[in-house]
Every structure is written in structure tokens, then in C-alpha cells.
Amino acid sequence: MGKKYDFKYIVIGSGPAGSAAALKLAKAKKSVALVEGRFYGGSNLNSRDVPYSVALDFAHNYSKLSSYPELKNQEFSFNFPTIAARELSTVIAANGNNKKPYEEAGVICLSGFANFLDDHTIAVNQKKFTAENFILATGSHLKTSDISIPESMDFLTPESAIKVHRLPEVIAIVGAGSTGCELASYFAELGSQVVLLESSNRLLPREDKEVGDLLADYFTRKLGITILTNSKVVSLGRDEHSAYLIFTYENSEKMVRVSDIVLATGSEPNLNLGLENTKVKIKNTGIAVDKFFQTSVKHIYAIGDCIGSESSTDRAHHEGSTLAANLITSSKTSINYNGLARITYTQPEIAVVGLTEDDLIRRDRKYKKVIINLNEITASKTNNFDYGFIKLISDRNYRILGASIVAPHASLLAEEISLAIRHNLTAVELASTPHVMNSYNYLVKLAATKLLGKNPATKTKHVKKRKK
């Protein structure tokens, strides 16, 4: 007779990865406990995705309304604290920090931080719990180790910045990845002077150059944001006058003074849960797992940000759901990431799905591409917005490989591309699908049509092989 454990599964972390796994296992009538040390639903629900959606939607609409020529003589104002209040009410409505949905599904909720005592035992609030299997979904936290920060120095994080009750006069945002660009857009649209610093040579360095270049142009021309690329922030400080940042640029140190500072400097896995008391192996980027999310200890699995993969709510949820399905059916189905999109909710929105041109160049693959500017479709004229484009990429047989979309509602346009990638559709099938002519979605049809044409931009690209 096997050893008796308190639970069949203990899931540590209730973010999108842990929630998906715990709820699916519970639905299959498995004995499941869920450990959460902060907010049930994780940071994405409580302090990232949901509150950001509320805040950014307000800022984009306020900026758009203020820019209408027909309303140029009107004065608009807003009560800044009410934005944070609506963020909170929306989080509550979305079941933020609410363990009731888990309990109703049959999940036992253990509030507190987990610490492993051995491979089968954890302590939560000085109580011991055992499980036959563990799923680690502990997420990540802000990385600040590369910057010198005085202990008494106050600064804003991506979580706290979106909840402030006072509009900063001048704000510096360190890091021009997705989150940094969203925050820059938010504060600038509401009226702050924004300084955006990035250590690489362009905004959104993960994306193709055209994406970062266009967003930088929009930020500069339309929102008045000061952009400092190739600028590595080395320290923060505050004196009797203001907060300030010291950064290096072209081998010299420079300073900029501001009212407030936000660090959007990326994340690193949450690993402070006593893993040294287990045989779980850690790699440089996080917990080491195989393609089925199994760690070096066969009954311990890890998913989401803690394994050092791309930080994405959709990706984490997909991993949690796939792992749970494998555990329920005792199968080993490797996860299919095809069609997952990266979204940056600036205005214009940015959606990148599938392979980018940079990806294909690195892989030495042949491809075809076409770029269609937003001003080539009617929706650009009717909405008086022409900052944007779609870059559609296919293989030599016109099978869709990826797209980079910069446009209002780009996240919705990406769904069609995601479907095409997931099911190996071609530009022929996209071009032949009816689209609403006066919508932004018509950009997809136009790009697919031109990709099939004789436009020089659609000729097969062949990257020369690197010399060994």
C-alpha cells in the first residue's frame, strides 16, 4: 500500500498558470490544494492585466477625444483618483483576490507562502502539508539588481505606477519593453511629461525594427515623449530638489531630474520557496523543466514565469491547462505554442504573432513578406489615424508564418493570423476570405492579396548562410 498524502496535487501560485492547472484538476475530481501568498488570481488579474486594461482604455479615449479638431475649443478634465478607484472595482468584479471560485470548484485554498521541507512536504504558516505531486507556478518579480538604489529611495513599479492617485508632472520610465511603453503611453496621454529610457538601440527590442521605429515616431511627434535609447540606468537618487537617475550614454554619465521614477526593467522568477531542500534543479533563467514541464524530481512540475519562459498571461494559462490535461489522462502531449501572440496595449496597439523577420533571419530560413501601411485602408481615413502597418510573412508556398501588426485593435487582427498559423493556412485562404472593407481588419486581406501579387516586396527572401 502506497504512502498516504494530504493531497494528490498541491499547486503553488494562483496566477494564470496555477489557476488553470488547479481548476482543471479539480474538475477531474482530483484532490487539489492551491497555495497563494498574496492575491488569489495572481498579479496579472490583480495588478497587471485587468487594471492596465481599465487605465489604458481611459487614457487612449481621453487622448483621442482631446485630439478631435471639432472639439479643439472644448476643455476636458478628469479626476485622477477615480481612475484608480475604477481599476479596483473592476478587479473585484473580475474576482480578483477571491478564493471563492476555487473553493466552489473543490480546490482547498491555503493562504500563505509555501516553503519546501522535503520533496513531498511544504510548510504554510508553520503548518505542514504533504502531496503526491507538486505544481510550481510561482510567477516572477521585478528585476532591479542591475541598478544601484538607496534603501530609502522611493520608486514606482509596474504594479504601483498604474494605481497612483496623483498625476506626476515629470516621470521617468526605465525600460522600453511592452510594459514600459504602455506606461509611457498612459502617462503622456493624460498630460505628464515622460522620459523613456532604454538600454538597447530601439523601443520594444524584442520586435522587428519597424515596430519600434514607428512607435518611437508616434511617441515623439504625437505624445511629446522624450526617448533616450542606448541609455543604461546605473543608479537612482533623490535630494531636496527632486528624484534623479544616473545613466550612461556613449561612455559618459548623464543625469535627468524628474518627479517620479518607474522601473519597468523586466522580471526574474520567484524561487524563494525552499527548493534547496529538494532535488529540483535551477538553471540561469529559472526552474529547469523538460518539454512536459517535469523538473529533475519526477513528481514536481513547474509552469509559467518561474521556468524563465516568456512572461505572458496567455502562455502561462496554456501551460497550466496542457500540464493538467496530461496529468489527468496520464499522457505526454507536448505543448503547442503556435499562434500565441505578444500584445502591447499602447495606442496604436502592437500585436506580434508567429515568427518575426528577425526570427527567420536568425534561423537562416527563406521567406516572403509584405508591408502594408495603415493609410492604405479606408478605416485609417474614417478614424483619422494613420500610424501603423502590418508586416505579413509566409514561406515560399505562401503558408503564413507570422505577422507584426501596429494598428488600433491590433490584438483583434492578430486572432485571424493566429488561426492561420495554428492550422497551416496560406495567404490564398486569407485573401479569399471576405473582410469588412471599412474595418481595420481589411488590412489583413490587403496584405495577403499583395503577398500573392508581383510586388517586389513579396519575392522570396534567402538569407545567405553564415560562414563557419
Tell whether 24 and 113 lie within a shared domain. yes
Is the pLDDT at 459 greater than 70? The verdict is: no
Of 214, 242, 266, the domain-final residue: 266
Bridge partners (DSSP) of residue 300 are: 134
Domain-embedded: residue 148: no
Domain-embedded: residue 464: no
Q: Comparing 29-38, 301-310, 386-395, which segment has the lowest mean pLDDT?
A: 301-310
Tell whether 138 and 12 lie within a shared domain. yes
Tell whether 218 and 309 lie within a shared domain. no
The pairing of beta strand 108-111 with beta strand 32-36: parallel
d(CA 401, CA 426): 9
Tell whether 14 and 137 lie within a shared domain. yes
Please give the residue that has the higher pLDDT: either 69 or 103: 103
Mean pLDDT of 420-440: 96
pLDDT at 70: 82
Tell whether 368 and 444 lie within a shared domain. yes
Is the pLDDT at 182 greater than 80? The verdict is: yes
pLDDT at 463: 42
pLDDT in tens, 205-252: 999 999 999 999 999 999 999 999 999 999 999 998 999 999 999 889
Tell whether 257 and 186 lie within a shared domain. yes
| Nearest one of 428, 402, 374, 447 to 217, comparing CA atoms | 374
Domain-embedded: residue 334: no
Mean pLDDT of 157-178: 96
- For residue 112, the domain's CATH number is 3.50.50.60
Domain-embedded: residue 1: no
Is the pLDDT at 458 greater than 60? The verdict is: no
Residue numbers of the domain that contains 11: 7-41+97-142+268-329
pLDDT in tens, 104-131: 999 999 999 999 999 999 999 999 999 9
Domain-embedded: residue 411: yes
Tell whether 101 and 21 lie within a shared domain. yes
Mean pLDDT of 54-64: 94
pLDDT at 76: 80
Is the pLDDT at 466 greater than 80? The verdict is: no
Question: What total of structural domains would you count in the chain?
Answer: 3
Of 225, 247, 266, the domain-final residue: 266
Residue 142: exposure state from Cβ atoms within 10 A (0-12, 13-18, ≥19): middle
pLDDT at 464: 44
pLDDT in tens, 333-390: 899 999 999 999 999 999 999 999 999 999 999 999 999 999 999 999 999 899 999 9
Domain-embedded: residue 65: no
CA 174-269-415 angle, 5° bins: 75
| Nearest one of 20, 10, 23, 16 to 39, comparing CA atoms | 16
pTM of the model: 0.92
Is the pLDDT at 93 greater than 60? The verdict is: yes
Domain-embedded: residue 260: yes
224 alpha carbon, distance to own chain's centre: 25
Confidence category of residue 309, pLDDT binned at 50, 70, 90 = confident
- Average model confidence (pLDDT) across the chain: 93
pLDDT at 467: 46
pLDDT at 2: 58
pLDDT at 66: 86
d(CA 182, CA 346): 5
Could you give the percent of the chain with pLDDT greater than 70?
A: 96
Of 282, 297, 329, the domain-final residue: 329
pLDDT at 77: 84
- For residue 425, the domain's CATH number is 3.30.390.30
Mean pLDDT of 146-167: 93
Is the pLDDT at 455 greater than 70? The verdict is: no
Tell whether 200 and 292 lie within a shared domain. no
pLDDT at 437: 93
Tell whether 226 and 242 lie within a shared domain. yes
Tell whether 262 and 276 lie within a shared domain. no
List strand residue ranges (DSSP E) for 192-265, in order: 193-197, 226-228, 232-238, 243-249, 252-258, 260-263
| Nearest one of 139, 114, 118, 137 to 44, comparing CA atoms | 139
Domain-embedded: residue 166: yes
Tell whether 248 and 391 lie within a shared domain. no
Tell whether 212 and 272 lie within a shared domain. no
Confidence category of residue 285, pLDDT binned at 50, 70, 90 = confident
Q: Is the peptide bond before 168 cis (omega within 30 degrees of 0)?
A: no
pLDDT at 311: 81
Confidence category of residue 456, pLDDT binned at 50, 70, 90 = very low
